[in-house]
Chain A
């Protein structure tokens, strides 16, 4: 399937601003690497995610039990994760480093420990 150069430019532009968006996500699937993240009380699986700077990826979320949230504050990226639904976000990290992500929807006794680390390599 050919890649729309306009959309690719948009993705790069968003990445350069440290932004991510679900806009045009349907069209993007199959083009970028997909990172599947499962949320359950009270952890993300995987808890450690490694990406390359500038690499566009789709983050694909599911929850095994209750409503959760995913918040990657460093990239101003968040979503609710509803049980029984697949939620996707697009991310093109524009800088290297280690960034904490966390659940931002209170989900019970253990919510405070529900976090993970995104490592972005050069």
Chain B
């Protein structure tokens, strides 16, 4: 099945959600960037908060397994799956943290996808600087290449002060230095790198330094989590796209006095939750984002 056919299939099958095109409009080097890229797609899941219990999601123990089943049911398997942090819900108990990480790992292992990438959120890593997370999933920041796209996973959570830190920023600069200025680069991270809404801790303390480094490259797109809802924002030519959660939805930034989770709606379970497909398109040198529900309506 070609990519076009697959998208048509999704639309015909009625499983496709809202589609967001993130093209590199006006980018002079887009033609160069697309030349070496093959069409492919990956799936982003985020903020699963395994171990959470509470009224905002009375189905917490089943939501992640259902999402895994939904990914496994996709007509064509993605090239890979990435979880962009907050795999588990935080706990002060180190043993309980490891138990939750282990259970999460076992559920994620049921994905019928060869490659699954992980990264931490502050709930996984901030209380022990990522120690338990690394025991299960390894490095908290890394890069890899896939079909002409350079992926960079940035850790802005292992420091509880929401900082990337000098050492990792130096690593980022060195990694970027290996890339042509028109390379297609995707950054995966947990918190927004820009000041989305600092009053709710929706920011990275030194995120501007990362953006400054990334701005030197023409084709950069950021996918992140943390805010439990879709959000699309540009810093210069860099697009930032946040993903929905798989545990509870949060209000739009500043829309209510506190960032309390949105109430569970028994009439519309999983409303506001979901995951997304991200299709890297060679023709436009952009990305097509398709939001998908936890379960089909």
Residues of A at the B interface (CB closer than 8 Å) are: 67, 69, 71, 73, 80, 100, 102-109, 111-113, 115
**Given A73-B198, A100-B199, A102-B199, A108 and B161 touching (CB < 8 A)?**
no
Asked whether B126 lies within 8 Å of A106 as measured between CB atoms, the reply is: yes
With an 8 A cutoff between CB atoms, is B167 at the interface? no
A109-B201 in contact given A104-B161, A104-B162 (Cβ < 8 Å): no
| A106–B258 touching, CB < 8 Å | no
A interface majority secondary structure: mixed
A69 (CB) vs chain B CBs: closest residue: B161
Total A-B Cβ pairs within 8 A: 44
Within the assembled complex, what's the spacing in Å between the Cα atoms of A102 and B198?
A: 9
- Residues from chain B with Cβ under 8 Å of A113 in the complex: 258, 260
**Can you list 11 A-B pairs with a CB-CB distance of less than 8 A?**
A67-B160, A69-B161, A104-B198, A104-B205, A105-B161, A105-B162, A109-B89, A111-B90, A112-B200, A112-B259, A113-B258
Taking the complex as formed, is B122 at the interface, i.e. its CB lies under 8 A from any CB of chain A?
yes
What's the dominant secondary structure at chain B's contact region?
loop
Kindly report which residue of chain B lies nearest to residue A112, judged by CB atoms: B259
Contact assessment for B91 and A109 in the assembled complex, using a CB-CB cutoff below 8 Å: yes
List residues of chain B with CB within 8 A of the CB of A108.
Answer: 90, 92, 127
Contact check: which of A73, A80, A109, A115 meets B161 at CB < 8 Å?
Answer: A80
Nearest Cβ distance between residue B283 and chain A, in whole angstroms?
41
6 nearest A-B pairs in the assembled complex, by CB-CB distance: A106-B126, A106-B160, A106-B122, A73-B198, A100-B199, A109-B90
The residue in chain B whose Cβ has the minimal distance to the Cβ of A78 is: B205
A80 to B161, CA, bound (A): 9
**A47 and B91 alpha carbons, distance in the complex (Å):** 24
Q: List, in ascending order, chain B residues with CB within 8 A of A69's CB.
A: 161
A106 to B162, CA, bound (A): 8
Q: Which of B58-101 contact A (CB under 8 A)?
A: 89-92
Distance of B51 from chain A, by nearest CB (Å)? 10
